[in-house]
Amino acid sequence: MAESMYRHPTRSEIIELATEEGHDADIPTNAGTIEVTSQTISPSRKQPQDSEKQSNLDFENDIEKGLRLESLSSEEHDNEALEETADPNVVWWDGPDDPQNPMNWPFMKKWGAVMLVSAVTFLTPLASSMFAPGVPEVMKTFHSTNEMLEGFMVSVYVLGFAFGPLIIAPLSEMYGRLPLYHSCNCFFVIFTIAAAVASNMGMFIVFRFFMGCFGGAPLVLGGGTIADLISREQRGTAMVVWMMGPTIGPCVGPIIGGFLTEARGWRWNFWFVAILASAFTIMSMVLMNETSAPVILKRKAKRLREETGNPKLVSKLDSGLSAKDLFMFSIVRPTKMLTRSPICFFISLYVAITYAYLYILFTTFTAVFKTQYGWRGGIVGLSFLGLGIGSLIGQTVFIHFGNKTAEKHIKRGDFKPEHRLYIMALGGFFLPIGLFWYGWSVQAQTHFMVPITGTGCIGFGLLMTFMPANTYLVDVFTIHAASAMAANTVLRSLMAALIPLSSQRMYAVMGYGWGNSLLGFVSLLLVPIPFLFIKYGERIRARSTVKL
């Protein structure tokens, strides 16, 4: 680790770290920034006075051509590192063992923070679907028979995921991760309690939306916190634990919620989440410290300027980006990428439609298993078990075989981003198969294990779509990967909130067999997308005219 403190980071390291932190690589990260010019890309610290000029350059560069990311020579690394180290006005760590550096924190302090962030990240997605088995009880409480509202009260939570992160991400770059964790956790608790005591449907839906907005904080900040604390060699384990929340949480939630609703009523789903979230919030306020290196060094530079009277002191990781620039990068970039990049649009569309299917299932499982199988009470929550197990298997298969395929081509020296899509092309078939299987077995009222196994196939197909799509966007858009993933998140959250609104009506008109077959046929139309990009993706990127 001592060597890494003074070794100039490679471009791939900066891009990887920035992606984990949830922002683009031309915004400062623990390893520095990448300046984009019309000629080349080079890791460096942007000077504040050049920020406006740099922003203009960034917005003029084609971001889909696959900018060359060769590492600088070791001599260039050494010269630049020595140049920055020799500058007396550049504030950096006080040696390789500086206790202020989060990488040097004690083992228990580091991993305690990782486990706490992972727990909060598990709780937030769990809350998205936990009360799904209690939806009929909510409808009775608020004297509503509106089928559209029945679906929307579940999916509106994910609508908050579309808007909250766009604000949280740039604010964390300005003020650090800790203030955002604390403030968002507090607001999440407040709106969860508000949902628990809501007296009408309008209030309930609004409070659910704000739960999603503030609940998205750990999903935005968690990867960056782990990257701040854990070395690259050990980071894989921490990232897998952290990713378990978004993957398994939405499927485990209804199982807990089903039995809790039967025992104490639907409101206790929210009291349960509020109690856990309050405990995690108090623990984080007591145990967590700021981990963002750019923010820690910025505060250190400010303190030293006051102590020494030297106004020229500046953090080595200070980009000088204004609040306006950060918000522009966070909001304008994803919008431009979604509307002007065929790769970003079609991959995001594929993910968005499949993600919407997940929430169609969330909003209809309770009704399906009650009407077709006569399930009652807490047992209804077990209908989500197949989806969760399938998702877990899908994640495991992708981590093993997806990475293995990429590593094979990297060793050969012929790696292209499109190699990430091989496993997506194969996994795409499982989604329509699962939908046909689930729909017609429910329609025929076969043994309940048959449709649950079908939902396991759906869960497997969903993860085999989500995971390769995200890694492909990272490899295609490199330093602007976080903006591409933000575009993906916004589109999928919007569709997951809106498409399920018509699901109950669809099943009423078409039945469970043909209703799910319609979804299956649509997913079959999407299957060629990864095949087309495998064949033509490199050509599309070469002819790209997408500029930011």
Show the tokens assigned to 153.
Answer: 């009260």
459 with 371, same domain? yes
Confidence of residue 325 (pLDDT cuts 50, 70, 90): confident
Q: What is the pTM of this model?
A: 0.83
- pLDDT over threshold 70, residue 271: yes
For the chain, the straight-line distance linking the first and the last C-alpha, in angstroms and rounded, comes to: 36
Is 78 inside a domain boundary?
no
Copy the structure tokens of residue 130: 């936990």
- In this prediction, residue 322 carries a pLDDT of 75
42 and 150 part of one domain: no
Q: Are residues 207 and 159 in the same domain?
A: yes
Average pLDDT over residues 526-547: 87
Q: Give the containing element (helix H, strand E) for 315.
A: strand 314-315
Phi, psi (rounded to 5 degrees) for 90: -95, 120
pLDDT at 39: 38
The first and second tokens of residue 546, run together, are 């997408």
Per-residue model confidence (pLDDT) at position 44: 44
326 vs 209: which has the higher pLDDT = 209
C-alpha angle with apex 524: 521 to 527, nearest 5 degrees? Answer: 165
Higher-pLDDT residue of 170, 31: 170
pLDDT exceeds cutoff 50 at 432: yes
Q: Do 278 and 418 lie in a common domain? A: yes
Q: What is the pLDDT of residue 235?
A: 77
Residue numbers of the domain that contains 61? 2-70+293-322
Whether 39 is in a domain gets the answer yes
Together in a domain, 356 and 496? yes
Which residue stretches of 197-292 are H helix? 201-215, 217-229, 232-264, 267-287
| Range of 74-83, 292-301, 327-336, 346-355 with top mean pLDDT | 346-355
Name the maximum alpha-carbon separation found in the chain: 80
Q: Are residues 56 and 170 in the same domain?
A: no
pLDDT surpassing 50 at residue 477: yes
Does the pLDDT of residue 54 top 60, yes or no? no
pLDDT at 185 over 90: yes
Q: Which of 191-200, 378-387, 413-422 has the highest mean pLDDT?
A: 191-200
The pLDDT value recorded for residue 78 is 40
| Mean pLDDT computed over every residue of the chain | 83
Per-residue pLDDT tens digits for 2-11: 333 445 667 7
Q: Using alpha carbons, select from 271, 294, 246, 287 the residue that is nearest to residue 29.
A: 294
Going by their DSSP bridges, the two strands 314-315 and 90-91 should be labelled as parallel
Q: Given pLDDT bands bounded at 50, 70 and 90, which one contains residue 64?
A: low
Tell me what the mean pLDDT of segment 225-238 comes to.
80
Do 174 and 315 sit in the same domain of this protein? no
Give just the sign of the alpha carbon dihedral 405, 408, 409, 411.
positive
Cβ contact 397:512 at 8 Å: no
Count of all residues that appear for the chain in the document = 548
Compute how many other C-beta atoms are within 10 angstroms of the C-beta atom of residue 44. 16
Is there a single domain that holds both residue 123 and residue 211? yes
Q: Are residues 308 and 215 in the same domain?
A: no
Q: What is the pLDDT of residue 548?
A: 62
User: Is 140 inside a domain boundary?
Assistant: yes
Least confident segment among 278-292, 390-404, 488-502 = 390-404
> H or E segment at 430?
helix 430-443
Domain-embedded: residue 93: no
Count of structural domains within the chain: 2
Same domain, 227 and 335: yes
98 lies in some domain: no
Asked whether 127 and 462 are in contact (CB, 8 A), the reply is no
**What is the SS3 string spanning 327-339?**
HHHHHHHHHHHHH
Instruction: Note whether residue 437 is domain-resident.
Output: yes
Got the DSSP string for 11-40? HHHHHHHHHHHTS-TTS-BTTBEEEE-SS-
Beta carbons within 8 Å of 255's beta carbon, 6+ residues apart: 381, 382, 384, 385, 388
What CATH number does the domain containing 179 carry? Answer: 1.20.1250.20
Task: Say whether pLDDT at 440 is over 70.
Answer: yes
Q: How is residue 11 written in tokens?
A: 């471009």
Is residue 85 domain-resident?
no
Collapsed DSSP state (helix, strand, coil) of residue 146? coil
In this structure, are 27 and 124 located in the same domain? no
Q: Quick check: is 231 in a domain? A: yes
pLDDT at 79: 44
3-state class (DSSP) for residue 90: strand
User: In one letter, which amino acid is 146?
Assistant: N
- 524 three-class SS: helix
Q: What is the pLDDT of residue 228?
A: 87
377 and 470 inside one domain: yes
- The model's confidence at residue 381, banded by pLDDT at 50, 70 and 90, is confident
- Is residue 38 pLDDT above 50, yes or no? no
pLDDT of residue 82 exceeding 80, the answer is no
